[in-house]
Amino acid sequence: MSRYQVAIVGAGPAGLAAAGEAHAAGARALLIEERPALGGRAMIVPGARGLTEGLMRDLGGVDVWRSSPVWGLFGRALAVLRGDRTEIVTADAVILATGARETMLPFPGWTLDGVMTVEAGWEAVRGGRIGSGTGPVIVTGGAEAGGLATRLADRGVAVATVGPARPSGASEGIPHHAGALAAAEGGEVLERIVLTDGAVHECRMLCVESPRVPLVELARLAGCPCTYEPRLGGTVPRYDPRFALHGPTPQLYVAGDAAGVDSPRAAAETGRLAARYALQALGLLADAQAKIEESRRRLAAASYPMPGRAREALMLGAVPLDVMETLDVPGETVICPCEGVTVSALAAAVAEDARAPDDLARWTRCGMGVCRWRRCGEPVLRWLGGALGVPIGRLPLPSVTPPVRPVPISALAHSGAPAPAGHA
Ligand X SMILES: Cc1cc2nc3c(=O)[nH]c(=O)nc-3n(C[C@H](O)[C@H](O)[C@H](O)COP(=O)(O)OP(=O)(O)OC[C@H]3O[C@@H](n4cnc5c(N)ncnc54)[C@H](O)[C@@H]3O)c2cc1C
What sections of 186-332 are H helices per DSSP? 217-221, 264-281, 288-302, 305-315
Query: In the bound complex, what is the minimum distance in angstroms from residue 120's beta carbon to ligand X?
Result: 8
Query: For ligand X, which is the closer residue by CB, 212 or 238?
Result: 212
Candidate list 144, 325, 359, 378; residue touching ligand X; CB under 6 A = 144
Listed ranges 96-104, 107-115, 159-167, 409-417: which one lies at the site for ligand X (CB under 6 A): 96-104
Q: Please, which residues have CB within 8 angstroms of residue 289's CB and are 6 or more apart in sequence?
A: none
Candidate list 25, 59, 62, 70; residue touching ligand X; CB under 6 A = 70
Candidate list 8, 13, 170, 395; residue touching ligand X; CB under 6 A = 13
Under the binding rule (CB under 6 A), the answer on residue 308 touching ligand X is: no
Under the binding rule (CB under 6 A), the answer on residue 11 touching ligand X is: yes
Nearest CA to 255 out of 239, 235, 231 is that of 239
Determine the straight-line distance between the first and last CA of the chain, rounded to whole angstroms. 29
Listed ranges 4-12, 276-284, 310-318, 344-352: which one lies at the site for ligand X (CB under 6 A): 4-12
Under the binding rule (CB under 6 A), the answer on residue 152 touching ligand X is: no
Q: What 8-state DSSP symbol labels residue 140?
A: E
Amino acid at 40: G
Give ∠ CA 107-112-115 in degrees, rounded to 5.
75
Q: What are phi and psi of 386, to 5 degrees?
A: -65, -45
Give ∠ CA 6-221-74 in degrees, rounded to 5.
50
Q: What 8-state DSSP symbol labels residue 173?
A: T
Under the binding rule (CB under 6 A), the answer on residue 307 touching ligand X is: no
* H-run or E-run covering 1: none
Query: For ligand X, which is the closer residue by CB, 78 or 384?
Result: 78
Query: For ligand X, which is the closer residue by CB, 218 or 341?
Result: 218
Separation CA 261–CA 269 (nearest Å):
13
Number of residues binding to ligand X, judged by CB under 6 A = 37
The total number of residues written for the chain in this structure = 424
Listed ranges 12-20, 293-301, 328-336, 353-361: which one lies at the site for ligand X (CB under 6 A): 12-20
Candidate list 99, 146, 179, 402; residue touching ligand X; CB under 6 A = 99
Q: Which residues bind ligand X (CB under 6 A)?
A: 9-15, 32-35, 40-42, 44-45, 47-48, 69-70, 97-99, 102, 118-119, 122, 144, 147, 212, 215, 256-257, 263-264, 267, 405
